[in-house]
Structure 1
Amino acid sequence: MKDLLLIAAFALAGAVSAGLLGAAALRFVRHRSVAVSLTVVAAVTVTAMFAGTLAVAQAMFLSPHDLYVVTTVVAMASVVSLLTALLLGRWVVARSRALTAAARDFGADGDFLAPVGVSTAELADLSRELAATSAKLAESRARERALESSRRELVAWISHDLRTPLAGLRAMSEALEDGVVPDPARYHRRILAEVDRLNVMVGDLFELSRIHAGALTLVPSRMSVYDLVDEALAGADPLARAHGVRLVGGRVDQAPLEVDGKEMTRALANLLVNAIRHTPADGTVAVDAARRDDHVVVSVTDGCGGIPPEDLSRVFDTGWRGTRARTPPAGAGLGLAIVRGIVEAHAGRAEVHNVKGGCRFEVTLPVPTG
C-alpha cells in the first residue's frame, strides 16, 4: 500500500508540473488559432502522462533497458497524440473558415447569410444563430426602407396638399383686397372652408407625429364598448346625412374596455369618415362590435366596392389613400395611419378585409381582466 501511494505521489508530481507549464503555455497562446490551442492541450496531456510515467519508472529503479522501452513507447504515443491534435485543430479551423467567410460581409446591404454546412456542433449552432440574426436584420432593413419611402411620399404629398389651399387662399384674399369680387360673402365662406381643412390637416400631422415619437399619452378609463360605438356614430351622423349614406349600428355586444375614450373615439371616427367618403350615395355603412374570448372586435363595413388585394397591406400606411390624385375629397391619407397608431397604443390591432360590395375594417382591443 505504501509503495502504491508513493507511485501515485510521483505520478501526481510529474503531472502537476506538466499541467502548470501547460497552463502558462495556454495563456501565452490564448489569442492564437484554435489549432494551436488544441495542440497545446494535447501536448499538456501527453507531457503530464510522460512526466508521470518517467517519475514512476525512476522511482521503481527500472533497468536501463526497461526504462528505454517505456520511454520509447510513451514517446511514440506522444508523437501520435500531438499529430492527431494538430490535424484535428486544422480540421476545425478549415471548417470555421467557411463560417468566417460567410460572416465577413454580415450586415452589408442586400446580403443575407444562409446557414453554412459545418459539422462541429458549436459552429453549426453559431451558423444557425447568425443566419437567424441575418434574417431579422434583413426584415428590419426592409421595414426601414419602406418607412423611409413612406416618409418621402408623405412630405411630397403634404407639401402639395398644403400648397393648393394656400394658393387658393392667396388668390381669394387678393381678389377681395382689389375689390373685384361680385359676391364677397361667397369668398369668405370659401376661405373659412379652406382654413378649416388646413386646420384638420395640421391637427392630423400633429397627432401622427406624437404617435411616431411615442409621445401619445393615454388616459385610460373603464367604459362600455356600447358607449364607445354610440358616441362615434353620433359624431359621424351629420357627415353621413350630407353624403346620403345610411349609418347603421348593428350587433353590439356588451363588454367593458379599458381605453382612452377621446383617442379611441377619434380612431373610430376616422374609420367612419373614411367609410362614408368611399361609400356611394344611398349606400350603407354598418358598425358592429362582437366579443371574442378576451378581445372585443369593433368593425366598420362600407360599400366602397372593395380594395385591390395588392393594396390591402398598404391601407394603414402613412400618406396612402388608394389614389395618386391629391384632390380634397381624397384627404391627406393620415386618418387610417392615426387609427393604427392609436389602436396599437392600446395593445390592439387594426386590420382590413374585403367583403361583398366593400370592405370591413376591424379594430381588436383586449378586454380588461378583473
Structure 2
Amino acid sequence: MLDLPPGDIIAVLAVGLGASLLVGLPGAAALRIARRRTITVHVTVLLTITVLAVLAGVVGAAQAMFLSAHDRDVVLLVVAGSGTVSLGVGWWLGGRLARDAVWADQLRQRERQAEANRRELVAWVSHDLRTPLAGLRAMAEALEDGVVADPATTAEYHRRIRVEADRMTQLVDDLFELSRINAGALRLSLRPVPLAEVVSDALASAAPLARARGIRLVAAEFGWPAVVASEPELARIVGNLLRNAVRFTPHDGMVQITAGRDGNRAWLAVADTCGGIPDADLPRVFEVAFRGEPARSPTGADAPARPSSGPVGGGLGLAIVRGLVEAHGGRVEVTNAGAGCRFLVHLHAAG
C-alpha cells in the first residue's frame, strides 16, 4: 500500500494526468500525421511521446513540491537515460519491423505473381493440349470409320498423328523441365563443353523447320569458345533459342547465331528478323506462358499451318532458357536489334 495521505495521492495523480495530457494530445496529433510515414518514424514518435509524458509528470510533481530537488534530479537523470536507450532501441526495432514489412510485402507480391503465372500457364497448356487432341481424335475416328480409305490420305493421317504426338511430348518435356527448375531439383554435371559442337547439333535439328518456312540459318565459321556447362542443358538452351527465333521469323527471313569470349566469360547470341518486340513486352519475354502480341505468336499470319508446323509450345521455351542459364551462374537478355531481336547468353568460359 502507498504510505501517502489520500489528498497527496489525488494531487499526484492529477499532476501526472495533467502533464501526460499536455504531452499526449499534441502527441496524438503527431501520431496521426506520422501514420502514413514509415514504421520506424511511427515507433520513434510513439516512444518520444511516452518519454516526454514521463518527464512532464516528474517535472510537474517536482513543481508541486512532492519531490525534493535532489530526488527530482535523480529521477530526471534516470528517465533521460532510460528514455535515450528506449528511443535507440525503438529506432532499431522500427527499422527491423520496416524491413520485415517490406520483405513480407515482396513475398506476398511474389506469391500473387506466382499464382497468376500458374493460372496463365494452366490456361495456355490447356489450350495447347486441346487443339492437338481434337485433331488426333478426328483423324483417329476418320481412320476407324473408314472415311479415309486411299493409301496416300491414310499415310498422311498417320504422319499427322505422329507429328501431333511429338508436339504433345515436347510440351510435356517442357513442363517437366520447368518443374525441375522451379523446384530446385536440377542437378548439373559441369565440365568444359565446346560450344561449336552444341550449336552444330542445334542447327541440324532446327534446319527442317527453317527450310519449311524458307528461313536461312547462318552461323559464324570461327570464334566458338568452350564453356563450363552441363551439355544436355546447354543443348536445350541453344535449341530453344533457335526454335524460338525460327518460329517468329517470317518467310525469307534469317536467323544468325554467333559467339565469342570476353575475359573469363563467354557469350552466345541468336539474332532474327522477326520485326522486333514492343518495348513494353521486353521485360516479360522470359515469363512463363508469355507469347506477346498475336502477330508474333505461332498462330499469327506468318506462322506455318498446323498441324504440320514445328513443336508446340506453351510459352515455356524462353522461361526454360532463363532458368537453365541462371542455374549455370549466367544470365540471358534480349534487345531489339536491326530488323528483329537479339538474345544474348552469358556463361562461364572454360580454360
1:167 aligns with 2:134: yes
From the CA coordinates, give the structure whose radius of gyration is larger.
Answer: 1
1:104-123 map, 5 Å: 120-123=87-90
Show the counterpart of 1:152.
119
1:352 and 1:271 mapped to 2: Cα distance?
Answer: 11
1:259-338 map, 5 Å: 259-323=229-293, 327=299, 331-338=313-320
**Helix, strand or coil: the match of 1:337?**
helix
1:331 and 1:197 mapped to 2: Cα distance?
Answer: 8
**Helix, strand or coil: the match of 2:342?**
strand
1:295-324 deviation per Cα after TM superposition (whole angstroms, max 9, x unaligned)? 111110011111111111111111111246
Cα pair distance change 1:210/1:353, threshold 3 Å: same
Q: Give the unaligned 5+ runs of structure 1.
A: 1-32, 40-73, 97-119
Cα pair distance change 1:289/1:244, threshold 3 Å: same
Could you tell me which of 64, 67, 75 is aligned with 1:82? 75
Cα pair distance change 1:252/1:232, threshold 3 Å: farther
2:217 and 2:134 mapped to 1: Cα distance?
Answer: 36
**Helix, strand or coil: the match of 1:309?**
coil
1:219 and 1:280 mapped to 2: Cα distance?
Answer: 37
1:353 and 1:263 mapped to 2: Cα distance?
Answer: 23
Q: Residues 225 and 259 of structure 2 are in contact (CA less than 8 Å); yes or no, is this contact kept in structure 1?
A: no
1:255-290 deviation per Cα after TM superposition (whole angstroms, max 9, x unaligned)? 331111111011101100110111112211111112
Show the counterpart of 2:344.
362
Letter in 2 for 1:262: P
2:224 and 2:237 mapped to 1: Cα distance?
Answer: 20
1:203-251 deviation per Cα after TM superposition (whole angstroms, max 9, x unaligned)? 1111111111222222222122333333322332222222211111137
1:251 and 1:307 mapped to 2: Cα distance?
Answer: 28
2:177 and 2:281 mapped to 1: Cα distance?
Answer: 24
Q: Residues 248 and 298 of structure 2 are in contact (CA less than 8 Å); yes or no, is this contact kept in structure 1?
A: no
Show the counterpart of 1:66.
none
**Helix, strand or coil: the match of 2:220?**
strand
1:158 and 1:365 mapped to 2: Cα distance?
Answer: 30
Q: Give the unaligned 5+ runs of structure 2.
A: 1-46, 55-66, 300-305
Q: Residues 349 and 365 of structure 1 are in contact (CA less than 8 Å); yes or no, is this contact kept in structure 2?
A: yes
Q: Residues 306 and 358 of structure 1 are in contact (CA less than 8 Å); yes or no, is this contact kept in structure 2?
A: yes
Could you tell me which of 221, 229, 239 is aligned with 2:209? 239
Higher relative contact order (CA 8 A, sep 6+): 2
Show the counterpart of 1:127.
94
**Helix, strand or coil: the match of 1:253?**
coil
**Helix, strand or coil: the match of 1:310?**
coil
Q: Residues 157 and 326 of structure 1 are in contact (CA less than 8 Å); yes or no, is this contact kept in structure 2?
A: no
**Helix, strand or coil: the match of 1:247?**
strand
Q: Residues 240 and 276 of structure 1 are in contact (CA less than 8 Å); yes or no, is this contact kept in structure 2?
A: yes
Show the counterpart of 1:206.
176
1:180-259 map, 5 Å: 180-182=147-149, 183-250=153-220, 253-259=223-229
User: What is the total number of aligned residue pairs between the two structures?
Assistant: 275
Could you tell me which of 322, 344, 347 is aligned with 2:326? 344
1:137 aligns with 2:98: no
Q: Residues 222 and 256 of structure 1 are in contact (CA less than 8 Å); yes or no, is this contact kept in structure 2?
A: yes
Displacement after TM superposition at 1:340 (Å): 1.0
Q: Residues 252 and 290 of structure 1 are in contact (CA less than 8 Å); yes or no, is this contact kept in structure 2?
A: no
Displacement after TM superposition at 1:75 (Å): 6.2
Displacement after TM superposition at 1:141 (Å): 2.5
Displacement after TM superposition at 1:84 (Å): 4.3
1:20-39 deviation per Cα after TM superposition (whole angstroms, max 9, x unaligned)? xxxxxxxxxxxxx9989xx9
TM-score (norm 1): 0.67
2:160 and 2:206 mapped to 1: Cα distance?
Answer: 23
Q: Residues 229 and 328 of structure 2 are in contact (CA less than 8 Å); yes or no, is this contact kept in structure 1?
A: yes
1:255 and 1:247 mapped to 2: Cα distance?
Answer: 20
1:177-203 deviation per Cα after TM superposition (whole angstroms, max 9, x unaligned)? 111224322222221221111111111
Cα pair distance change 1:251/1:126, threshold 3 Å: farther
**Helix, strand or coil: the match of 1:316?**
coil
Q: Residues 161 and 326 of structure 1 are in contact (CA less than 8 Å); yes or no, is this contact kept in structure 2?
A: no
Q: Residues 343 and 349 of structure 1 are in contact (CA less than 8 Å); yes or no, is this contact kept in structure 2?
A: yes
Displacement after TM superposition at 1:360 (Å): 0.4
